[in-house]
Every structure is written in C-alpha cells, then in structure tokens.
Structure 1
Amino acid sequence: MYKHLYKRFIKANPSHHHFACHSHHYWPDITRDAQLQYWDDTAKFVDDKWEHIFSVKVPQAQHLIAEVLNLGYPEQIVFAPNTHEFVFRLLSSLDWNQKVRILTTDSEFYSFDRQINRLSELPHFEVVKIPTLPFDTFHERFEQAMESADWNLIFVSHVFFNSGMVCDVERLVKDAPSNCPFVIDGYHSFMAVPLNLNPIQDRVFYVAGSYKYAQGGEGCCFLYVPPSTRHRPLYTGWFAELSKLSAIGDEVGYPTDALQYAGSTMDFSAMYRLIATLEKFRDEGLTVTKIHTLIQQNQHQFLAELDRHHHPLVNRANLLAFDLKNHGHFLTFNLPSSEATSELVQKMKTRGLVTDSRGSRLRFGFGLYHDFADIKDAVVKI
C-alpha cells in the first residue's frame, strides 16, 4: 500500500526482499529532496547556516518528535549524530568521585552495553543486569532490583533489540526511585511501537534516533531531557555554550534547557531527512498507531505462511515472543547455534532474502514497503 514512498530504494534493489529494516530501513524518496535542500541551504546561508539550523530546522524537528511522543516540552529535545554521545554524556553527569551503581538489563544495545562493560572494569563502577528472559517475570524482577539498593542510573529499552519484546516502561518508571535518573532507550520503538511519554515526561530521559523506523537514515539522534534537570556532564561541547559564545573566562557554565546535554559540530543533513520523513508520514496519515497496525498484519501473514511451510528452524517453536499484540517490528527466532544462524543468513542472502542476526537469534524486520506477495516470496526463500 505504501510502496510508492520508497520507489528509489525498491528500484535500486530489484532482486532483493529486504527484511532487515529493523537495522537498515529503506528511506522514503522524500529524503533525497531533503538531502539536496541541506546542500542548497548551505550554499544560501554559508556563515549564517548555524543560525538558520538552530532557529528553524531544530525547532521543526523538536516539534515533530514531541508530537509523536506526546511531549509537552519540545524545547527539551537535543540532538547528536549518535546515541553513544548521549550515553556517555549521561554517564559523565554522574559523580565519578563516588561509587557509581547502574541498573540495567542483559538486552541493551551495544552503544550502552559495551560502554558500561568497559566502565565496570573500574573498581568504583558497579553494573547489575537483570535478564529479560523469562519475560513473564521480567517486570517483577526489575522492580525488585530497583527496590533492593540505591542506584545512580537506571537504563532500560522500550523494545529490546535482541528479541522485539516490549517493556512496560511507564510501569517501571512509576516504581523507580525518584532521585535516580531513569533513561529509556527508544531506538527500536520510535516510530514503530506507540508510546505516550506525557504522563512521565517530568521524570524520564528518552534517547532514540532516525536510523531505523524513523527512516531518516544515520546521523540524527536525540535525547529528551526532563525540564527540571540541572546536570553538568563532563563530556560536553560548544553547542552547550551557544547562548554565550562571546563570554570571556574559564568558567564552564551550562544551560538550563536540553542544551546542557549538547555536543559539538555535526552534519545536520540527517535532521533534514528526518523532518522530511516525519512530515511526509503526517501528510499520509501514517501515525505510529496506524504504522504499528499495518506491521502487525504483515507479521501475522508471515507467521501464517511459516506454518504452511514447516521450516525445521524458522518456526513458531523457536519464536521469541511474549505478546504479539504488543511486540516490536521484527520477529526473532532463537536457533540452535550462532553458526547455524549465520549459515542460514548467508544462504538466504544468496537467494535474495536480506535479514540479519545477533548470535543465535535470527531477526526478520517488517516495513511499509512489504506487501503480501513480498511476504510469501520471503518465506519460500528461507
């Protein structure tokens, strides 16, 4: 139904069935125009480009994102080229002169997991990871952990990247200690799984970006910062001094809005692409709820086709899912080994079926550019 939005990518990949859109999503055609607009604006404004970006384009992006997440403070959204910048900026806002205790899960994406694994090698960093499986007891176990000790940072994904299972973040936030920063990683759910942040917008940090389901490509990530936040991250850049660049002296001041988490110079062409995509979806009436419903239909059709083909590995018995009515936009199958999974991924690729894996977990992602014919063909190629 929405293939018309992706004509250029589809034309460029005529022999591919692309089911890795949880990692590398096709971009809507409108993003090419946005990329060219960035070049044209650079030529037009030259030295005044930053003023145009921060007075026009940044507010545009802030309001579009706030609309999706139902946030009342769009000005509390700050941008960076990747989420790792925000991860380390958040970690550097803690007091490293004291013991730092971090509570998280065993299913966080690498930008966070690798960093805290490295920091946990230091004697005053303690990291506790709660297993997400079995998922039927996950929330209770995480709540018990929150109550068991004093934490300096709590970090959890809305949709877990290695399974697609959805965390009830609002429930966890309500039970979390009020004096501890609570961070939601929304990268695998933003523009995919509906989330209303309004009831908890005074309490949570939320980090996501344009690379996956927002379909603007790499380079435009964002952090929502609760309005009452007054932090001084050690990892800081000149964007945090935009309001007083002419000041003289060695004092390191911080803004009271989201720019306290700002970094430095970045390529804003990705923001242009993100804005174009979100505006196009709005014009098409593609709300997150509608997108989610369409993808759920694709997933249901995919599983029904699998049932008919009786594949020895890719089947419902190996499906990692707790509630398919409340699940991310990819289906994950836990195969016997990493080797078997990698071998199957490569075999499917030779047949024109593109997907991906993480260890022994094989992932099939679904997008608006898939129809029933694509799904039937994909199952045949497994």
Structure 2
Amino acid sequence: MESYKQYYRQFLGQHPGILHCSPHSHYYWPDVTRDAQLAYWNDSAAGADHKWDVIFGERIPNVQRLLAELLDHPYPEQFVFAANTHELLYRIISCFAPDQPLRILTTDGEFHSFSRQVQRLEERTGVHVTRIPCEPYDTFATRWQAALQAHEFDLIFTSQVFFNSGVQAPPLSDWLAAVPQRTQVVVDGYHGCGAIPTRLRDVADRIFYIAGSYKYLQAGEGCCFMAVPKSCALRPEYTGWFADFANLAKPRQATVGYADDGYRFAGATMDYTALYRLEAVLEWWRSIGLTVEQIHQRVQKLQLAFLSLLDEAQHPLIHRQALLRDEQRDHGHFFTFVLPSAEQTATVAAALREQGVDTDYRGNRLRFGFALYHDIADYQQLKKALEAI
C-alpha cells in the first residue's frame, strides 16, 4: 500500500516512537493545515473590518462546495458552520416551542453533546425521550423499526457510526420513508464523515446532517457544520447575526428574519481558522485524487492486518474474541474491545502508552483507531507492546 506519512511530517515529528491509535478521537493534522492557519491571519490582517467579505464571499462558499462534493449533496448553500456540533444541535431544538410537548426518538449510543443535553431537557414537563438500546447490535434495526411504528415523534436523532462502538447504524434508506414529514430527522455524522463513503443526494431535502473537522476530516477543532434540508422554514430561537448576514445593513424589521439557505441556523462571530484548515485538507485530497472510498478501503486493509497480528500476539485481554464487533461491512474506522472492568481497561491503556502505543477508552471499552498515516508495518510495535504487558 502507498504510504501517506510524508503528508504528516509536522505532527509525526512531534511524537517520535509513538503509534497513534486514537485518530477517532483526535486525528493528526496534515502539513497543509499549517499554511492554512497562517492564511487566516493574513486575510484578517489584509481585510481587518472587511475580512468577513472574504470569509463569506470566498472561503465559506468554497468549503460548502467541497463538502457537498465529498458527501454527494446537491445543495452547497445548505451547509452552515459553527464552532461545535452542540451549538448546531441546540439551534434545532430551539425551533420547538418550550411550552409544547416534545417527543424524541434516539439511541443509548449517542455522544455526550446530545445525550447530556437531552437528559437535561427531560427535566421539563412535556419532554418525552425514547432511547433504543444499541445492543445487541444484531437486533437493533428491528427494534428501531418497531419504535418508529409505535409512536410519532417530533425529533429523531441517531448517529451514522456510534461513537462508543464503531458500529454503523442502519442506513437511512431502510427506515426514513416511514417517518412522517413533520418529524425532524438529525443524523450525527461525526464518526462517518471522511471515513465512510456517504451520499446524501437522496435525503438532502429531508434530514439534518451534522459533522465536523476534529476527527476524520483531519483539520482539528473549531469547524463543525450542518447540512440543512432544502426549503427548511424552521425559525431557531437560538440565533445570531450570521443567520441573516445578507440583510445586516438594512433597517431592523419587526419580525426576526432568516437566511433562505442553511445559514438560517448560523450563530454569531466565531474564529474561522479551522474552516481554513478544513479547506486545505479537502483541497489536498482533491489535488492527489484521494477519495473517501479509497480511504475506507485502505483502513479496511489495515484492520485486517491488525486482526491478524492480534491472532499472533495471543494477548489474554486484547484479542479478536474481545471485540465488540468486527464485521467490516458495517464498521467504522476504530475497533472497540470489551475488557472485564473499567479499572483493567485504564491499566491496560496506561501500559500501552508506556510502550509507545497511544489509544483511548470509555469505561471498560478500549478503542483502537486507524489512520492514513498508518502503515501495516507499524503494527509490529503494537505486537511488541502486547507481548510486554
């Protein structure tokens, strides 16, 4: 396989001797992002008060086009940006009147940005949340379908790839047609975007798709985005001046106005440095002809090599049988191992770190991720580490 290490010299050089197996948490940034960081400074210096003309007139439209191309989404103008996904999530929630009942369908495998927020919302009278357990994964699709048929919901929220397992959720094509039009559907794509080939063309009029640059898009924190359904007329109560940027200079109207595209869900002033970094990554992929399909195929080969090495190592805790799920056809870009206890998991992760293998864990689940800057030969370091602990 072709090596991509030459594109990550800056980050790899800062961590000599480390096998970074937690890109699902924080992907190393490729070298092109360093110049992008400076480009934001240069645009800010040259534009000063008028830098927004460049950001909104050139940079944002270009990144919108790049994301639309990446995700096969027909409406680039429907992408809106924020510093984090939670901000975008709460704008959707703020479209629902707080004095009216709110029924939500979700799973027990959602990231904290959603699960914490919804748990807090449940303290309100009239908020009802149905959580479908992800496990056992073999029956999840059936149980999800049953929940959809049992009730009508105001909001549905599910991940594309569950953050604590790496398992892909059932495809939208299996269940979206059964959802009433009045129901708002949100897909958390953070562990799918840039890792799993994703085509939103057929659902671009129907769903909100949320993701960001921190993980597989490799541009670091600070640039999250949401694809808003075409012709969406919702009016977020949690709103800021970016949400009607085109009319900023006009006299204030009696009714709060919103953009006619995805920017109706925008907030207010933010640092767009990360957007420049994301632009650089997506332009780099385009320049070398790298697609998500190719990335995914490469990672699947890395995963097979990883599993073969585990079979050789015969570690008592980290082995194929301890995997939560290893079927590649419905798996994301990290493996999750279930250990006997949270304490043992923390101990093993610390021991691996001492041996130069950097991973992460949640409770008793130890996670190993796969990245473009990995080569199959790198996993010999993991084998040696397993033999040492």
Q: Give the TM-score normalised by the residue count of structure 1.
A: 0.98
Corresponding position of 2:46: 44
Work out whether residues 296 and 325 of structure 1, in 8 Å CA contact, stay in contact via their aligned partners in 2: no
Corresponding position of 1:129: 131
For 2:247, give the aligned amino acid. K
For 2:67, give the aligned amino acid. I
Quote the offset at 1:249 in angstroms. 4.4
- Tell me how far apart the structure 2 counterparts of residues 228 and 182 of structure 1 sit (CA, whole Å): 15
Deviations 1:150-200 (A, max 9, x none): 211000000000000011232232332222011110000100001111111
- Tell me how far apart the structure 1 counterparts of residues 345 and 106 of structure 2 sit (CA, whole Å): 27
Work out whether residues 298 and 375 of structure 1, in 8 Å CA contact, stay in contact via their aligned partners in 2: no
Q: Matched residue of 1:159: which SS?
A: coil
Q: Matched residue of 2:328: which SS?
A: coil
For 2:115, give the aligned amino acid. D
* Residue in structure 1 matching 2:190, options 166, 187, 210: 187
Corresponding position of 1:258: 262
* Residue in structure 2 matching 1:228, options 231, 235, 239: 231
Corresponding position of 2:26: 24
| Within-5 A mapping of 1:195-210 | 195-210=198-213
Corresponding position of 1:219: 222
* Residue in structure 1 matching 2:329, options 310, 316, 325: 325
Quote the offset at 1:250 in angstroms. 4.7
Quote the offset at 1:243 in angstroms. 1.6
Corresponding position of 1:301: 305
- Tell me how far apart the structure 2 counterparts of residues 178 and 337 of structure 1 sit (CA, whole Å): 44
| Within-5 A mapping of 1:98-177 | 98-170=100-172, 171-177=174-180
For 2:210, give the aligned amino acid. V
Q: Matched residue of 1:101: which SS?
A: strand
Deviations 1:274-330 (A, max 9, x none): 000011011122100000000111111001000011111111111011621331000
Q: Structure 1 134/322 Cα, relative in aligned 2: closer, same or farther at 3 Å?
A: farther
Deviations 1:17-73 (A, max 9, x none): 100000011000000010011111111111110011001000010000000110100
| Within-5 A mapping of 1:55-134 | 55-134=57-136
Corresponding position of 2:289: 285
Corresponding position of 1:358: 362
Quote the offset at 1:380 in angstroms. 2.2
Quote the offset at 1:4 in angstroms. 0.8
Q: Matched residue of 1:333: which SS?
A: strand
Quote the offset at 1:96 in angstroms. 1.9
- Tell me how far apart the structure 1 counterparts of residues 24 and 331 of structure 2 sit (CA, whole Å): 13
Work out whether residues 185 and 207 of structure 2, in 8 Å CA contact, stay in contact via their aligned partners in 1: yes
Q: Matched residue of 1:42: which SS?
A: helix
For 1:328, give the aligned amino acid. G
For 1:10, give the aligned amino acid. L
Corresponding position of 2:36: 34
For 1:380, give the aligned amino acid. K
Q: Matched residue of 2:175: which SS?
A: helix
Quote the offset at 1:16 in angstroms. 1.1
For 2:72, give the aligned amino acid. N
Work out whether residues 326 and 335 of structure 2, in 8 Å CA contact, stay in contact via their aligned partners in 1: no
**Off by >3 Å, runs of 4+ in structure 1:** none
Q: Matched residue of 1:45: which SS?
A: helix
| Within-5 A mapping of 1:361-376 | 361-376=365-380
- Tell me how far apart the structure 1 counterparts of residues 13 and 177 of structure 2 sit (CA, whole Å): 47
Work out whether residues 93 and 233 of structure 1, in 8 Å CA contact, stay in contact via their aligned partners in 2: yes
Work out whether residues 8 and 29 of structure 1, in 8 Å CA contact, stay in contact via their aligned partners in 2: yes
Q: Matched residue of 2:335: which SS?
A: strand
- Tell me how far apart the structure 2 counterparts of residues 143 and 178 of structure 1 sit (CA, whole Å): 17
Quote the offset at 1:109 in angstroms. 0.7
- Tell me how far apart the structure 2 counterparts of residues 15 and 377 of structure 1 sit (CA, whole Å): 9
Quote the offset at 1:373 in angstroms. 1.9
Corresponding position of 1:316: 320
Aligned length: 382
- Tell me how far apart the structure 2 counterparts of residues 17 and 10 of structure 1 sit (CA, whole Å): 9
RMSD over aligned Cα, in angstroms? 1.1
- Tell me how far apart the structure 1 counterparts of residues 175 and 336 of structure 2 sit (CA, whole Å): 24
Quote the offset at 1:15 in angstroms. 2.2
- Tell me how far apart the structure 1 counterparts of residues 179 and 292 of structure 2 sit (CA, whole Å): 27
Quote the offset at 1:113 in angstroms. 0.7
Aligned-pair identity (%) = 48
Quote the offset at 1:255 in angstroms. 2.0
